[in-house]
Amino acid sequence: MAKRIFFFLLTNILVITTITIILNLIGFSGYIENDQIMFGPLLLLSAIIGFTGSFISLLMSRWMAKKMMNVKVIDPDGPMNSQERQIVDMVHRMSRAAGITKMPEVGIYHSPEVNAFATGPSKNRSLVAVSSGLLQEMDDAAIEGVIAHEVAHIANGDMVTMTLLQGVVNTFVIFLARIAAFIASRFVKEEMAPIVHFIAIIVFQILFSILGSIVVFAFSRYREFHADRGGADLAGKDKMVHALRSLQAHTHRIRDEQDSAIASFKISGKRKSSLFSTHPDLNERIRRLEAK
C-alpha cells in the first residue's frame, strides 16, 4: 500500500535537497567553468548526488516509517495480547515460507485507515506494519492475504530495486534542474545571479522530483501485480483475492460517504490521476490474480 512509496519519496526529496544546500553553502560549483556548464562533470555530480540520496533514503526508510506513523513495534517474545501474537505469527510464518532468514519487525500503528506497508533497507532489515483500522475492518483471512502481499514485497526486494530506479531518476532531476537554474540566472543582474541560481536549483529540483515520481509510481503499479502473485503463493490465491475484495468493498464504502458529503456542497468529486497512483485498479488486480 502507498505508505511505503510515500516515505521513500519524501525522504529522498529531503535528502537530495539537503545535499544541494550544503554544496551551495560551501560554494561548490565544479561543473561551471568560464561561466559555462561542463556537461560531463555535471552528469557525474548528478549521478553521485542522485544515487547517494536514494541509498540514504533506503537506509532511513524503516526508521522514518516508525517515527512518522508512530508504529508500535511488537516484541515477538512478549506480545501484549492475542491479536498481536496472531499478527507476529502470520508475518513470521509467511517470511519463513518466502525464504527470509531474519524475521521482519512487526508493528501496529493507530489509524482508522485500512492500510499496511512493508519497508526497510534489505530483506533482513525490514518492517511490516498494519493499521488498527485494518485489524478492525478485515477478517482473519483478509488480514492474512494483506500480510502475505507485504511479505512478498520484501521477498521480491522491491525497495532495493526502487532505490536503483530512484537513483537514475534523481540523476536526471539534478542534471536538468541545474541546467534550468543556470539558464534562469542569465536573465537577472550579475550581482543577483548567484542567489537566483541557488533558489532556482532548489525550486526546479523539487518540481522535477515530483514529475520524476511518475516513473517511480509506474514501477510501483507494476510491482503490485508481482506482490499479489507472491501473496497468493504464500497465503493461497483465495485469501489474496478475498483480501483485495475486502479492500475494494471498504474503498467503495468510503468513496460513497465522501461523494455524499461532496455532493452536499456542490463540489466535483474528481478522482486522482492514474499517473500519480501508486497502485493499479483493484478490479484489474483481482482479474489478473483470478486468471493466475
35: left (phi over 0), alpha (psi -120 to 50) or beta: left
* Distance between CA atoms of residues 122 and 154, nearest Å: 8
* Distance between CA atoms of residues 276 and 33, nearest Å: 38
Which residue in 20, 68, 66 sits closest to 208, CA to CA?
Answer: 20
List 84, 150, 190, 290, catalytic entry: 150
Q: How many angstroms from the chain centroid is the CA of residue 121? A: 13
Three-state DSSP class for residue 68: helix
Q: 250-257: long-range contacts (C-beta < 8 A, 24 or more apart)?
A: 250/114, 250/137, 250/138, 251/282
* Distance between CA atoms of residues 219 and 22, nearest Å: 31
* Distance between CA atoms of residues 7 and 71, nearest Å: 13
Which residue in 205, 217, 209 sits closest to 5, CA to CA?
Answer: 217
Q: Is 150 a catalytic residue?
A: yes
Q: Contact at 8 Å (CB) between 40 and 163?
A: no
Cell, residue 167:
537513483
Q: How many angstroms from the chain centroid is the CA of residue 30? A: 32
Cell, residue 111:
489509524
User: What type of residue sits at position 106?
Assistant: V
Catalytic annotation, residues? 150
